[in-house]
């Protein structure tokens, strides 16, 4: 939200109630309090009839400070309020003008607050701009933090706008707007800087960010009301910041290995029955395309009945038998659900009678006709309503269903409604996505244990704890493919370790060339799903080459499963995502700051999806020697490259010194790139001319494959020892 009119003036109708000219300080055990008056206090009478801004800076964990700013503190506490993960700082020091947590320091000097890490300034509060603003009788708290020359900002959820957020105005407010707009399904009030710090605004409400888009020297963020709380997270690198953010907000659960394979959907408005489903599964098997999950989208239930969790008995007369037959092929089953109850649903009357549906302030059930006629919303703040909802999901699990696609959760009303537990409806708009997905994921954990996984669209702070998330309604175009990737990379900077998208676009039907290019991108995402709106996404619906391309990349991903699972475990333990923005992996590379059409897939594989019909791709390789994983060609970085690729290839590189574990029919192999030392998730390998020395062997490995500019060579392993090459 913009408060200023140019450099000197305020917007029309805007007043600023505080301009901090005088500050008193008070040190606590783990905190420093600042009391800023609107004018300099020279005599006792000056303390009368003026506002005061109170700032409390608290050490909450090593390298993390919480900043609480308020004008009037008597407002009711937020409900729901952000609750950080349990954390205690191990190193804190406080004096009369500063507080230090670990290596992060906040110091009040000259009327402002300067934040530094290891003695180097990160940012500083703009004293004359930060404060309380009033517009049309409504109060807003705004913080202005100084931005550096060349500093770039990222994150703010799954945003499909430009990857670098400088110059953008962003409202943190969940919407169902597709991928071709400034709206987002997953809004996270977390922004991370290339200078090595992050800001998390501790609110589930509408947080507005102005990223050098109002005062162009500042990062500005604001919330309605007279209180603002945020966390400033420091680190030596952006990776450190992201790991501490995960410590603060929660780390993603580890999805089961089967979920990383290929998912195939019925699609949305297509006609499908048991016969159609089994023909798809048969077709994939006949064409040697390994399938991990079959997904039934909305019309597994009858139209106008969503959600009643009852199979359409005309299309699926024997759902238990069908699920058993799918399981017999080694394939898991997912079904679509949402938290909305249509008026014609068998559950509506019961939900209304028992008070399980969201109500208006007059006590009536909130309803509208968008999506489903007479649709109501399950009130998950009511524990009985959550248990009721889960009881119907458990019935599906008892039938053999393995997981759920938790669709929707964004269009949650915030005016004229009353939640069962008294929560603020403005805060519940975003927070609903959290309790909806938590409810379903928790049920799956109870019933399925380590096999728990959802396919979720909406999220807010902490939503990464309930994976997997996918990118919503994209279109069948190369532009949409690019914006989808931007959304995934932005979300990765908010601690979401696992992410997917609708391969070839949800809306419309892709041309065969786009389908084949998107297949490669999709199979080099943490999770991979073929799904669409009005047409099927089986590859033979496009052309025969699409079948071969799908088989090739699906089997390639299958061979990389040991490597992928190691990266997944790392995401679960640290919060570093499987798909990593280039600036996260190469923080000292100035060019990497702006790369949004390529990424690192795990620690060692660079992926640049081809986004053109002619197969030409321009991509960037950071410094070092790079080996193309498919062709073996060697390229030198740092610099831009251009190449033309057929449908069975794309820029796919490992850097010299990397080691990648792969699986083939006769066992595991370790690919080592270059004549240098290498590491692969705890297996350290030293490569010397003419022979291989394995410092730490794993008896599961059959071979080590050495890659250098002269090609590849294989060294067999017997009893944990290396044979001569």
56-71 pLDDT tens trace: 999 999 999 999 999 9
CATH number for position 26: 2.60.40.1760
Strands 403-406 and 332-337, by their bridges, are parallel
- Identify whether residues 240 and 261 lie together within a single domain: no
Active site residue 407: yes
Please, what sign has the CA dihedral across residues 338, 340, 344, 347? positive
- Per-residue tokens: 461: 């702070």
Of all residues in the chain, the percent with pLDDT exceeding 90 is: 87
Q: What is the DSSP letter of 715?
A: E
- Identify whether residues 277 and 236 lie together within a single domain: no
pLDDT in tens, 450-464: 999 999 999 999 999
Active site residue 473: yes
pTM for the full predicted model: 0.97
- Identify whether residues 453 and 562 lie together within a single domain: yes
Residue partners of 283: CB distance under 8 A and separation at least 6: 538, 540
Active site residue 349: no
**CA pair distance 717, 725, nearest whole angstrom:** 10
- By mean pLDDT, which of 263-267, 282-286, 508-512, 699-703 is the weakest? 699-703
**How many domains in the chain?**
3
Provide the residue range defining the domain that includes 411: 257-574
**CA pair distance 385, 432, nearest whole angstrom:** 14
Does the residue 629 lie in any domain?
no
Judged against a pLDDT cut of 70, whether residue 641 lies above it is answered with yes
Catalytic residue among 210, 240, 407, 658: 407
Give the residue-averaged pLDDT of 548-570.
97
**CA pair distance 541, 656, nearest whole angstrom:** 40
Q: What is the DSSP letter of 129?
A: T
**CA pair distance 523, 486, nearest whole angstrom:** 17
Does the residue 580 lie in any domain?
no
Residue from 432, 423, 298 nearest 377 by CA:
432
Residue partners of 468: CB distance under 8 A and separation at least 6: 255, 259, 453, 454, 455, 456, 498, 499, 500, 526, 527
Strands 652-655 and 605-607, by their bridges, are antiparallel
- Identify whether residues 532 and 660 lie together within a single domain: no
- Identify whether residues 346 and 455 lie together within a single domain: yes
**Which residues on neighbouring strands pair with residue 117, listed in sequence order?**
104, 120
- Per-residue tokens: 529: 């799903």
Q: Which of 574, 595, 621 is the endpoint of a domain?
A: 574
pLDDT in tens, 385-429: 999 999 999 999 999 999 999 999 999 999 999 999 999 999 999
pLDDT interval class at 716 (50, 70, 90)? confident
- Identify whether residues 24 and 113 lie together within a single domain: yes
- Identify whether residues 214 and 279 lie together within a single domain: no
Q: Tell me, rounded to whole angstroms, the distance of Cα 435 from its chain centroid.
A: 17
Catalytic residue among 410, 483, 502, 708: 410
Judged against a pLDDT cut of 60, whether residue 696 lies above it is answered with no
Q: How far apart, in Å, are the Cα atoms of 441 and each of 297, 393, 659?
A: 19, 11, 35
- By mean pLDDT, which of 85-94, 249-258, 528-537, 715-724 is the weakest? 715-724
- Identify whether residues 233 and 283 lie together within a single domain: no
pLDDT in tens, 70-93: 999 999 999 999 999 998 889 999
CATH number for position 283: 3.20.20.80
- Identify whether residues 566 and 434 lie together within a single domain: yes
- Identify whether residues 304 and 343 lie together within a single domain: yes
pLDDT of amino acid 111: 72
Angle at which helices 274-286 and 319-328 cross, to 10°? 0
- Per-residue tokens: 125: 């509060």
Q: For the CA atoms of 517, 159, 599, 682, what is the dihedral angle to 10 degrees?
A: -120
Give the residue-averaged pLDDT of 234-251.
98
- Identify whether residues 685 and 666 lie together within a single domain: yes
3 state SS of 724: coil
Q: Which of 554, 574, 594 is the endpoint of a domain?
A: 574
Judged against a pLDDT cut of 70, whether residue 280 lies above it is answered with yes
Q: Is 282 exposed, middle or buried (0-12, 13-18, 19+ CB in 10 A)?
A: exposed
Mean pLDDT of the chain: 95
Does the residue 551 lie in any domain?
yes
- CB contact at 8 A, 342 and 307: yes
- By mean pLDDT, which of 124-138, 309-323, 430-444, 524-538 is the weakest? 124-138
Does the residue 581 lie in any domain?
no
Strands 359-360 and 376-377, by their bridges, are unpaired
Does the residue 495 lie in any domain?
yes
Angle at which helices 561-574 and 544-559 cross, to 10°? 60
Residue partners of 255: CB distance under 8 A and separation at least 6: 453, 467, 468, 498, 527, 568
- Per-residue tokens: 462: 């902490």
Strand positions, DSSP E, 11-103 = 14-16, 22-27, 31-37, 52-61, 64-70, 92-94, 98-101
pLDDT interval class at 660 (50, 70, 90)? very high
Residue partners of 353: CB distance under 8 A and separation at least 6: none
Q: Kind and range of the H or E element at 122?
A: strand 120-124
Judged against a pLDDT cut of 90, whether residue 21 lies above it is answered with no
Q: What is the DSSP letter of 158?
A: S
Does the residue 526 lie in any domain?
yes
DSSP 334-384: EEEE-SEE-TTSTTHHHHHHHT-B-EETTSSBP-B-SSSTTBEEB-TTSHH
Angle at which helices 512-523 and 478-492 cross, to 10°? 10
Of all residues in the chain, the percent with pLDDT exceeding 70 is: 95
Report the largest interatomic distance among the alpha carbons of the chain, rounded to a whole angstrom.
90
Q: Which of 515, 541, 574 is the endpoint of a domain?
A: 574
- Identify whether residues 230 and 315 lie together within a single domain: no
Q: Give φ, ψ of 431 to 5 degrees.
A: -65, -20
3 state SS of 507: strand
Q: Kind and range of the H or E element at 534?
A: none
Residue from 338, 270, 276, 271 nearest 305 by CA:
338
pLDDT of amino acid 694: 66
Does the residue 203 lie in any domain?
yes
Catalytic residue among 62, 126, 473, 598: 473
Does the residue 530 lie in any domain?
yes
């Amino acid at each position: 939200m913009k408060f200023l009119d140019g450099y000197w003036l305020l917007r029309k109708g805007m007043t600023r109630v505080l301009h901090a000219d005088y500050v008193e300080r008070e040190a606590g055990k783990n905190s420093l309090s600042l009391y800023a008056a609107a004018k300099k206090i020279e005599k006792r009478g000056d303390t009368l009839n003026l506002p005061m801004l109170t700032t409390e800076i608290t050490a909450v964990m090593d390298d993390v400070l919480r900043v609480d700013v308020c004008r009037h503190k008597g407002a009711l506490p937020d409900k729901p309020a952000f609750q950080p993960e349990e954390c205690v700082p191990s190193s804190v020091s406080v004096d009369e003008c500063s507080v230090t947590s670990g290596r992060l320091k906040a110091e009040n000097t000259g009327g402002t607050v300067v934040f530094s890490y290891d003695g180097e300034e990160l940012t500083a509060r703009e004293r004359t701009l930060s404060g309380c603003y009033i517009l049309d009788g409504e109060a807003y708290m705004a913080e202005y933090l100084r931005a550096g020359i060349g500093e770039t900002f990222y994150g703010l959820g799954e945003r499909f706008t430009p990857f670098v957020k400088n110059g953008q105005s962003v409202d943190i407010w969940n919407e169902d707007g597709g991928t071709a707009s400034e709206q987002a399904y997953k809004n996270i009030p977390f922004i991370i800087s290339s200078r090595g710090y992050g800001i998390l605004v501790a609110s589930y409400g509408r947080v507005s960010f102005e990223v050098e888009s109002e005062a162009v020297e500042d990062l500005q963020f604001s919330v309605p009301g007279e209180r603002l709380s945020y966390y400033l997270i420091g680190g030596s690198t952006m990776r450190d910041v992201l790991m501490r953010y995960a410590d603060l907000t929660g780390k993603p659960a580890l999805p089961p290995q089967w979920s990383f394979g290929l998912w195939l959907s019925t699609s949305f408005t297509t006609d499908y029955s048991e016969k159609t489903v089994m023909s798809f599964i048969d077709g994939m098997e006949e064409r040697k395309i390994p399938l991990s999950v079959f997904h039934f989208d909305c019309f597994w239930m009858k139209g106008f009945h969503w959600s009643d969790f009852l199979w359409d008995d005309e299309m699926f007369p024997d759902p238990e038998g069908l699920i058993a037959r799918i399981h017999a092929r080694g394939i898991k089953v997912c079904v679509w659900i949402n938290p909305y109850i249509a008026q014609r649903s068998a559950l509506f009357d019961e939900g209304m009678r028992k008070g399980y549906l969201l109500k208006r302030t007059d006590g009536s059930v909130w309803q509208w006709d968008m999506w489903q006629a007479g649709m109501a919303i399950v009130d998950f703040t009511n524990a009985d309503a959550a248990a009721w909802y889960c009881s119907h999901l458990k019935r599906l699990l008892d039938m053999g269903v393995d997981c759920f696609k938790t669709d929707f959760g964004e269009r949650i009303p915030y005016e004229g409604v009353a939640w069962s537990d008294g929560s603020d409806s403005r805060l519940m708009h975003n927070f609903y996505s959290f309790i909806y997905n938590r409810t379903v994921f928790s049920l799956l954990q109870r019933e399925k244990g380590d096999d728990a996984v959802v396919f979720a669209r909406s999220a807010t702070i902490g939503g990464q704890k309930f994976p997997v998330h996918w990118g919503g309604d994209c279109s069948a175009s190369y532009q949409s493919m690019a914006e989808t990737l931007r959304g995934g990379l932005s979300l990765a900077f908010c601690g979401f370790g696992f992410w997917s998208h609708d391969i070839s676009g949800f809306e419309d039907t892709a041309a065969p060339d786009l389908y084949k290019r998107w297949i490669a991108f999709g199979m080099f995402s943490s999770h991979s799903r073929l799904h669409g709106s009005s047409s099927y996404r089986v590859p033979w619906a496009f052309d025969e080459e699409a079948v071969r391309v799908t088989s090739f990349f699906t089997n390639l991903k299958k061979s990389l499963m040991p490597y992928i699972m190691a990266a997944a475990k790392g995401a679960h333990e640290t919060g570093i995502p499987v798909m990593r923005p280039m600036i996260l992996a190469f923080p000292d590379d100035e060019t990497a700051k702006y790369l949004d059409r390529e990424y690192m897939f795990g620690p060692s594989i660079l992926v640049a999806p081809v986004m053109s019909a002619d197969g030409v791709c321009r991509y960037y390789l950071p410094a070092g020697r790079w080996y193309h994983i498919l062709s073996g060609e060697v390229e030198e970085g740092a610099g831009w490259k251009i190449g033309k690729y057929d449908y069975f290839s794309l820029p796919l590189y490992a850097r010299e010194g990397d080691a990648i574990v792969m699986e083939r029919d006769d066992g595991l192999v370790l690919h080592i790139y270059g004549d240098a030392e290498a590491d692969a998730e705890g297996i350290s390998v030293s490569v010397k001319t003419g022979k291989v020395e394995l410092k730490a062997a794993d008896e599961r490995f059959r071979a080590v494959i050495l890659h250098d500019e002269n090609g590849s060579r294989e060294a067999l392993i017997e009893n944990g020892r290396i044979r001569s090459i």
